[in-house]
Copies of this chain bind each other. A is one copy, B any other.
Amino acid sequence: MLTKIMKPKSIAVIGASTKQHTIGSDIMKRLQEYKFNGAIYPVNPKGGIIEGLQAYTNVNEIPGEVDLAIIVVNAKFVLDTIDQCHQKGIKGLCIITAGFKETGEAGAQMEAELLAKVKQYGMRAVGPNCLGVVNTHPDVRMDGCFAESLPERGNIGFVSQSGALGGGILNILKDLNLGFAQFISIGNQADVNAETALEYWENEDDVEQILLYMESIQNPQNFRKLATKISKKKPILALKAGRSAAGASAASSHTGSLAGADKAANALLNQSGVIREYSLKNLFATAKVFATCPIPKGDRVAIITNSGGPGIMATDAICEYGMQMAKITDETKEKLRSFLPSAASVKNPIDMIASAPIEHYKQTLETVLADDNVDMVMVIYLPFLGLKDIDVARAVMEIKAQNPSKPIIGVFMTKNEFFTKLSDMDVNMPFFMYAEEAADGFNRLNQQRKWIQRPEGKIPTYRVDRQKAEAIISQALSENRAQLTTRESIDVLDAYGIRVCKSGFATNLEEVIQIGNSIGYPVVMKMTSKTTSHKTDVGGVRINIQNQEQLANEYNDLIDKLTQKGLIEGLEGVIIQEMVKGNREMVAGIATDPQYGPMMMFGLGGVFIEVMKDVTFRIAPLTDIDAREMIQSVKAYKLLQGARGTTPAQMEQIEETLLRLSQLVNDYPFIDELDINPLLISEKTGEAIAVDGRIKVRLEEAMKAFHSCSCGACAGCCH
């Protein structure tokens, strides 16, 4: 798929130049300096010798076959250049040239034409507006980038939406003991994007972990499908920028791409098993951990230190991540006591005290690694009394080499030059300066472990009454209403098998009484209106009605009040509902993000919804595992479990409610918003009952889907 681009046997550099400090010159230099394992053909209309090679005036003059064309000509020549590449039979392009979508409408138009040609010719193209591509495999050795530094060899596949950032990263990787297997600067991602790279790298053994720097996700559903699968095989770490409103606005102006709401991005990454990092620093720190650490069997951490303070700080950090301090066995303790001085502490954190020689580091680490209660080990070193940091590191790595199955992270609070020395060595474990960084690393390993163990989940399909739901929606559409009434909303939920509270609709006193009596008291009465959506604000909700007489009084009073306020016109009638007793008000709903599509929400409802923000999001459709995790991930989960003597909620029934909602929006993607608030937990049965509901559709889209529009504009639609 990307073989011609990432593993070319020959490269044409179209726009190669003799002028120093230009991209056309730098690319030629890097390809040669890094000793590309194939033919390099500079192309320049003026011909001549470029970086010691004969330049061709046109790509079609090149005698041999060309797999990849790296294009650095001026934007206005790019389309013609693609035609020429096609004539030459080239299938791989890397278009470094800028001046497309990122510059405005004219550029976007040109980019669309570019993409059309690429598709038409059966090519694949990286860019435009990018830094280039890298493959460090010894059989390829391609540095097709104009960054300052040559790439370091490593196990990372890196996709960067920011070219400049990619360049910056190439500069600092060596210091971190990290390197790339492959690197793709996707630029404007006209054709090749993060998803293409993910798919390509799934079975590339050389790429053992995937890092993404993204400002937008092009096709969220496709991304989810790919990432979910691939992240079980190799860790995917993502830095998604443009989180804040201001950041997102900077993101749009930067790459011309639409930035999706951050909570949607977060939900998507979470569901797909992608480890989200919030800073470059953390991205690389995590990459450093995955570069050499195996996935642990559990979350029990042992700490070995020669200094108490850092041991305490490490313990704090481990516990704050919810991991466990390993309970060292008595056998291990005894063994440790046999060689450590009496002032040492053999409880975890194991404090060998400041006098610990290298031999104690080795023996203690070996002993602790052999303990079945230990899944991961942090080794802390502070320099004392003549012990050399690099010697300790070598000793620890020696033990690590003999015990490859458990992750070990070194915390060496020592001079910067230690890390510079390390960067020239072949390390088999990560080293950091501070305990908190090591704890971060263990946390990420643990997260990946849990993800790998997480069942895939299923998207169930329930039998529902589509006919009924569609009849209700059609009715609203026929009246040109995007907003369904409360009654319609509740009925749609009911048609989808969601437990709504028993109710009936009445338009006069007689019906009111009849329905009230059939449901049984106490009941609630709620007005439904086509003009008033916030019912409580106009006194349209009456609760705890105890008997027929009170019901009649409340109804008459409502009619009087609405008449006085001039709101009687919009009144459709009143809903009489069973009064569900319970003080746990949850919320479930659907929101639509313009880029990510329908998103499910669940959490604490009622008056607290906006203040506490104890809600969680997932991209639809939900698997059963997604639904369960949603419920378990809000703080209010403790309330559902039954705090202080309340009835435990029926968790499976709540899960089903979310899954049925997910099916609903899957069937009718034009649903723009849906709120069940409150989704009340019955104190009696623990059932979650939809007490109030609001559904809003995107009118045009819905009409198209239902062929119910008479506007003429969509008369030509095909069904």
| Chain B residues with CB below 8 A from A26, complex form | 385
Assess the B415–A250 pair: CB atoms within 8 A.
Answer: no
Alpha-carbon gap, A325 to B537, bound state (A): 37
Enumerate chain B residues within 8 angstroms of A612, measured Cβ to Cβ.
608, 612, 614, 635-636
Binary flags per residue of A225-258, CB closer than 8 Å to B gives 1, else 0: 0000000000000010111111100110111000
Give the residues in chain B near A307, CB-CB below 8 Å.
162, 164-165, 168
Kindly state the separation between the CA atoms of A386 and B23 in the bound complex, as whole angstroms.
12
A253: contacting residue among B148, B345, B384, B415, CB under 8 A:
B345
Given contacts A312-B241, A537-B645, A635-B612, contact A21 B385 (CB under 8 A): yes
Contact A161 B309 (CB under 8 A): yes
A292 to B611, CA, bound (A): 39
Which residues from chain B contact A313 at a C-beta distance below 8 Å? 239, 241, 247, 279-280
Work out how many copies of this chain go into the complex. 2
Interface residues of A in 588-640 (CB under 8 A from B): 607-608, 610-614, 635-636, 638-639
A434:B244 contact, CB within 8 angstroms = no
Say what secondary structure dominates the interface of chain A.
helix
Instruction: Tell me, in angstroms, the Cα distance from A611 to B306 when the chains sit together.
Output: 39
Contact A243–B316 (Cβ < 8 Å):
yes
Contact A416 B414 (CB under 8 A): no
Q: What residue in chain B is nearest A413 (Cβ atoms)?
A: B168
User: How distant is A287 from chain B, measured CB to nearest CB, in Å?
Assistant: 14
Tell me the complex Cα distance, A416–B98, Å. Answer: 30
Assembled-state Cα–Cα distance A643/B607 (Å): 8
Say yes or no for A480: interface residue by CB 8 A criterion: no
Is A254 in contact with B309, judged by CB distance below 8 angstroms? yes
Contacts of A504 in B (CB 8 A): none
Distance A356 CA – B125 CA, assembled complex (angstroms): 28
> Which chain B residues lie closer than 8 Å to A80 at the CB level?
none
In the bound complex, CA of A382 to CA of B147 (Å):
10
Nearest chain B CB to A206's CB is how many angstroms away?
Answer: 25
Say whether, besides A244-B320, A612-B614, A172 and B415 are in contact (CB < 8 Å): yes
Number of interface residues of A (CB under 8 A): 95
Which residues in B have their C-beta under 8 angstroms from that of A254? Answer: 308-309, 311-312, 345, 351
Choose among B278, B312, B419, B435 the residue that contacts A416 (Cβ–Cβ < 8 A).
B419
- A345 CB contacts on chain B under 8 angstroms: 253-254
A423 at the interface (CB under 8 A from B): yes
Is A441 part of the contact surface with B, judged by Cβ < 8 Å? no
B-side contacts of A149, CB under 8 Å? 415
Interface check A213, CB cutoff 8 A: yes
CB-CB < 8 A to A143: which residues of B?
A: none
- In the complex, what residues of B have CB within 8 A of residue A433's CB? 172, 281
**In contact, B413 and A416 (Cβ under 8 angstroms):** no
**Given A279-B434, A308-B162, A316 contacting B384 (CB threshold 8 A):** no
What distance in Å separates the Cβ of A407 from its nearest Cβ neighbour in chain B?
Answer: 20
Chain B residues, Cβ within 8 Å of A310: 162, 164-165, 168, 280
- Does A215 interact with chain B (Cβ within 8 Å)? yes
A-B contacts besides A162-B310, A254-B312, 8 pairs, CB < 8 Å: A164-B309, A168-B383, A171-B413, A244-B315, A244-B320, A246-B316, A416-B416, A417-B420
Query: Can you list 16 residue pairs at the A/B interface with Cβ under 8 Å?
Result: A21-B385, A164-B308, A169-B413, A171-B414, A172-B414, A172-B416, A241-B316, A247-B313, A250-B312, A278-B316, A280-B435, A281-B437, A416-B416, A611-B635, A611-B643, A612-B635
